[in-house]
Chains A and B, each alone.
Chain A
Amino acid sequence: MASITQSKEPTALSSPRFQLDVSSWLRNTIFSSFWHAVFFIFLVIANILIIRTGYTLEPVGLSYNLAPNGQPTALGNFILTITNGALLTSIILILWLIGAALVTYSVATHRWIGPSQWLKDSLYTGPFGALTTLALVLLIVFAIRGILSWAVFGAEFRTDPESVALLRPITPGAIWGVVGANLKLFAVGRYPSEFVWRVWFSLGIVLALGAFSVFAWNFGSPLKRFRQILVWAWLASIPAILFILRGFGTSLVQTNLWGGLLLTIVISVIGIVVSFPIGVLMALGRRSQTRGVPFTWAWGAGLLLIYWGLFGIASEPVTLNIPLIFRDPPVWSVTIAPLTYAALQAIIVIGIFWAIGHYLQGNMIKTFSIVYIEVIRGVPLITVLFMAQIMLPIFLPKEIEIDNLLRVVVGVILFSAAYLAENVRGGLQAIPKGQYEAAVAIGLSNAQSTRLIILPQALRLVIPALVGQCISLFKDTSLVAIVGLFDLLKIAQTVVAQQEWLGLQQETYAFVALVYWVFAFSMSRASQRIEKNLGVGKY
């Protein structure tokens, strides 16, 4: 009985008297959880920093908006006024207070005027929400103001070095001349100017194919045949464009002159396109159930090695015909007949594979795939590039000089294929066993069921992962700078070292970042479209 009476007594909370209890208010709002508190403190600090930076940038819009007589133009004046830091802060505060007042009024009177419902639901969800709104709006407005005043209003767009040199000390923002004056360098590197038309021509091919594709893929089934032709045309366009870019005879443009965005695109496109089939084969190989070495392969490999051992690669002196593993000790080269080397070599190479394969139930294809994938995935791309650069020439006779770019591209392909293989394998594993069984039960061969049933479903599943890989490969091409190629990023480094534009890193790297972003984001959007198109009518 006593307990019931007690529970009916009015508690402090239900008391109508208004109490301002700061500590409980803070506990319920900003400090309601650890991460709320951290977030809020972060917002406050970020605001202080960015608004302070904003003030130091004033006055914005100075140089760009000067009239010929040295006075600010009307536009310049207007920009100066509205971007004034104190004024901006005041405007935001007043607007925020009006919103707060509106919401408070609506909550108190239950009269919802204009946007007050929306304001309460989205911007003023409570004391914490309201404060967060204020902090974030300040942050965003001042960040935009900072970026605009640096990149646009306070920036200098002239590209002739003489006038820029004079204007640099009084320009508060970016000096875009460094980009404008070096556009050709960013686009194609040191590609000879008289042959730049070839790049334009190649771009024309790509654009024409692109236009045809947009047409073909937006008009249903009657164009199926046309689409098939287009796919082949796209594939054929790659060697064609490479040929056009390189030229021949007197108009040859060595690949060491290719650079900038052109080089970045060449490396990533070849890397992606060539590594794709290799990756798919590796993924299938890793799951292969084939036991033992296919008879013909073993014989083929043996004969090839014997031939290599006997005759080497043409034009080499006989004593140097011996493959690398037998060059030491050199006494071998004069004491044992080439035929013996060849036999020994074949035994050793086949033996090594056989021994490894033995541990995987004699599945050679699987062994090779696993060893390849795990070795490549175990090393960084830079290592692979160095290997391609330094090791590849050792394996080949001196006369054969492999183009630097080709070596790098081979490295990128090998690297990318290993990752692709694992992505594709993920898709293969997601396909139920019943699909394969149904395919072979109606009489399809192994190869047919893989090509017609398993791969189309598996690849569709891993499109996001594949595009992710394309994007990262595109960005990873910036590493080729290390082995002496002048890709987009390396070009940026050379540009900021130019006498006229010395030290303009912010502008240059911001531009390069923007270019990378545009490409990566386009790929991401394209992948979403492909997924959407392929998903139609499925499941």
Chain B
Amino acid sequence: MALGNDVIICNDVHKWYGEFHVLQGVTTTVKEGEVVVIIGPSGSGKSTWIRTINRLEEHQQGQIIVDGTELNNDLRNIQEIRREVGMVFQQFNLFPHLTVLQNITLAPIHVRKWSRERAEEVAMDQLRKVKIPEQANKYPGQLSGGQQQRVAIARALAMQPKIMLFDEPTSALDPEMIKEVLDVMQELAESGMTIMAVTHEMGFARSVANRVIFFDRGNIVEEKPPSEFFSNPEEERTRLFLSQILHH
């Protein structure tokens, strides 16, 4: 697949929680249409990193440029970027007091200023894509975990973002529901969306990703296309991690 321009540029990104140095100079670029999977042990800072890309976490040093806009304290920049970057969380974070349809149309109506009709049309399209249009008028609490996560994906997609961030989207799901979410993500990747995903699903990484990043102790240890990454890891830490998760 032909990849386009650089849409995410991280240049020597640092972050501290008090004394703790979470991100220690992360440097990488993501191209348009690329699917990047980030793996790594828990506590390595990979979630923090992905959350700095839409400024849910502030970085304190270095540079993050998303779609040509640098992230700094300027609120307008932050909001502009958040409009173009969709995010899917581990815990779904659907709004429990709104129906599925309202969850999805909320941002298009209030941020994009679309009419309700148009927003609902787009929302139903997205719900069809994630294969649950029949749940539109239910409340999130009435859905299964897998359905909720698919609604969360539809909610992010309804804003028609250029980039999608996935922060461990399947970690809170029962095993039988993981596949339905991964299928949706795979279709999304095949449609040409730029994706950054933190996940433990090695099958997904192997079959869908253009690049796999191994993240440990606040920095990128190794990044390679999946075929090379899994068959021929260079770093000792990568090998150790892979042996821990693949052999049990």
Contacts and interface: CB of A to CB of B under 8 A. Distances in A.
A435 B140 CA distance: 13
A77 interface: no
B115 interface: no
A444 B97 CA distance: 17
Chief secondary structure at chain A's binding surface? helix
B155 A442 contact: yes
A35 interface: no
Nearest to A536: B139
Contact of B89 (A437, A440, A448, A452): A437
Interface string A440-464: 1111110010001100110010000
A538 B97 contact: yes
A434 interface: yes
A95 interface: no
B111 A444 contact: yes
Contact of B106 (A434, A440, A442): A442
Interface residues of A, number: 21
A437 B97 contact: no
B216 to A, nearest CB: 25
Given A434-B89, A435-B95, A460-B97, A440 B156 contact: no
A456 B95 CA distance: 10
A457 B112 CA distance: 24
B110 interface: yes
Contacts of A93: none
B156 A442 contact: yes
Contact of A442 (B82, B97, B99, B141): B82
B56 A441 contact: yes
A437 B83 contact: no
A428 B244 CA distance: 42
Contacts of A452: 106, 110
B93 A434 contact: yes
Interface in A488-539: 537-539
B82 A443 contact: yes
Interface in B141-170: 141-142, 152, 155-156, 159
- Interface hub of B97, B99, B142, B152 (most chain A Cβ within 10 A): B97
B96 A538 contact: yes
Contacts of A443: 79, 82-83, 107, 111-112, 159
Interface string B111-123: 1100000000000
Contact of B54 (A441, A537, A538): A441
B89 A442 contact: no
A139 B82 CA distance: 69
Nearest to B87: A441
A438 interface: yes
A448 B141 CA distance: 23
A435 B98 CA distance: 12
Interface in B75-90: 79, 82-83, 85-87, 89
B6 to A, nearest CB: 22
Interface string B186-216: 0000000000000000000000000000000
Contacts of B94: 438
